[in-house]
Structure 1
Amino acid sequence: MTSLAEGVDTSGALPTTMRAVVCHGPENYTLEQVPVPRPGQNELLIRVEAVGVCASDVKCYHGAAKFWGDENRPSWAETGIIPGHEFVGIVVAGSEEELSRRRLSLGERIVCEQIVPCEECRYCRRGQYWMCAPHEMFGFRGFNGAMAEYLLVPARARVHAAPSSLPAHHAAFAEPLSCALHAVERADIKFEDVVVVAGCGPIGLGMIAGARAKNAATVVALDMADEKLALAKKCGADVTINISNQDAIQIVKDLTEGYGADVYLEATGHPSAVPQGLNILRKLGTYVEYSVFRSEATVDWSIIGDDKELNVLGAHLGPHCWPAALKLLESGALPMDEICSHQFFLEGFLDAINLVGNPTGGSVKVSILP
């Protein structure tokens, strides 16, 4: 790995500059030498150990407008910002007051929730911080992310201590895993439920693990790649279906005396997965949507209302699920060496982004190790 950036402050404790990926617009990200931020009275500084590359990072890199076919729709990522919201790092600087407030020590490992809530809007005042109206997020809007050697943790950030026993890129998986567990919580899974998870990427695999932890009667995984379906089995799936050569709807109906699944969790981001879910569910079933789609999805709404009276729910971020995600990672129950399939150094950030954006690249979770 490349050494730390040149230049050290007068105390010798921290470098004065660092390497960081900076967004200058769609398909214009560059690796630059920038100042190491200095924490204020209510801030912390961490040395980044690992940062995961999310599908949303790929979307922002190419520009949200390109995916939506609307050139007037702005990209999520602000220009001049450092991307990266799935991260883990070591606390290297901060005031005694801030460390005490957070019950942390220098040298301790932490993860941060991706949203930095304002604590003032209607949603924050009601405890619904993950839907914060300004919606400032690490690596997208308002705060620099972790595709850098150091990251400033603002006072409003939601911080969790992370196990030191985990490899760094495994600990950074707490972010997508918490998101997956939130979707599972939204589904309100019962013991007798047949749960279908569409997509065996990082979020889908976390949903499978969460559904299994809820002791659903049967967990069914759908994907088009046999190797990902094999990984789904290791995460807790009872049944796997390759939708490229099997009829998922008929198989699930055969499993359920013709009724259909109780719960459908969507994690592919492909428009075809939406009608698939509506048709795979039984009457009065529950559909939970987590994905960010690259194109619009249209459905026959009469299936939702008149035909089946479905519960259709959304899920966003991973509120209140971070402790459970960290505990699940620490338990060793997930095949993390296989889930965390590819690691890159900071210089290879573009290769990492391109790999995540390549559906035939064979990756599951791609990480950057600054």
Structure 2
Amino acid sequence: MRRTVVVTGGSAGIGRATVREFARNGADVAILARGQERLDAAVREVEAAGSRALGIAVDVADGPAVEAAAERVERELGSTDVWVNNAFAGIFSTFMDMSWEEYERVTAVTYFGQIHGTRAALKRMLPRDRGTIVLVGSALAYRGIPLQSAYCGAKHALQGFLDSIRPELEHRGSKVHVTMVQLPAVNTPQFDWARARIDRKPRPVGKIYQPEAAARAIRFAADARRKEVWVGSTTVRAIGGDRVASPLIDHMLAGSGISGQSSPEPLEGDREDNLFEPPRGDPGAHGRFDREAVEKSWQMALNRRRNGVLAGVGLAAAALLIARARKYG
């Protein structure tokens, strides 16, 4: 049975890769994003994969517009089975160098955009008692870093939102599932069009993954019925490290957190950003870090098979105990 999947921010980066991933696996896909040129290109890719596509130009910060888009999806593609909240906005700047309008905009897109999407999806899924909503998060939902206070704050807020609504759904006995995917640094166009108040071009921190790795994890999360899915060894280290040594990480980031997000190339004076208006062109899913980015995550491969891995570890431990018992028995 074909599924209908909605992907917000689906015209570029992780969202574009996620649209391709679901279409390649037989789903009809609705793409919600601002840039019409990229929307049209994403629609063509879905149709080329043999699926139906619907591109809707919408700003997810506009709640009524998201609701109208959700209604159109149901009317033209059918009942929504999976809703992926992926759209976000960012700015590389120290907190005090940002204007209130900039901070509010990042929050409106990155946090409230996912709230609007979740509400629109739940409105339709709850009466049917089925469906999955995927919140796209980040390791930065647990561990904030310099220059990204607005983005990190929004991702932290989504973590609290998830913790609140999951027990609400369980209380009512709903079969609708809400999950969150915590991603590592990903090679997307955001580093070339996020607003920046630093001297050099922004770059990801740590190991970089290709957007296809994130897309596969998002599709996995849509089916796995887990509360969270962590992607990448760096995500595991960031979240785990913050839990055991948060003050030490603060100190480390004070020394290297800003320089670590800067490329050698100077920032262009005429740089076009996407904070308030969609930029021109269609970069697709990838950014400029293809030479550094990796295609797969060994951590995610183990995560997908964690039941088998745990069973294997258990069997190995049992065999070791039996061998020891025989030796010393």
* TM band (smaller chain): 0.3 to 0.5
Q: Specify which structure has the higher proportion of helix.
A: 2
With structure 1 as the length reference, what TM-score do the two structures score?
A: 0.35
With structure 2 as the length reference, what TM-score do the two structures score?
A: 0.39
Q: Specify which structure has the higher proportion of strand.
A: 1
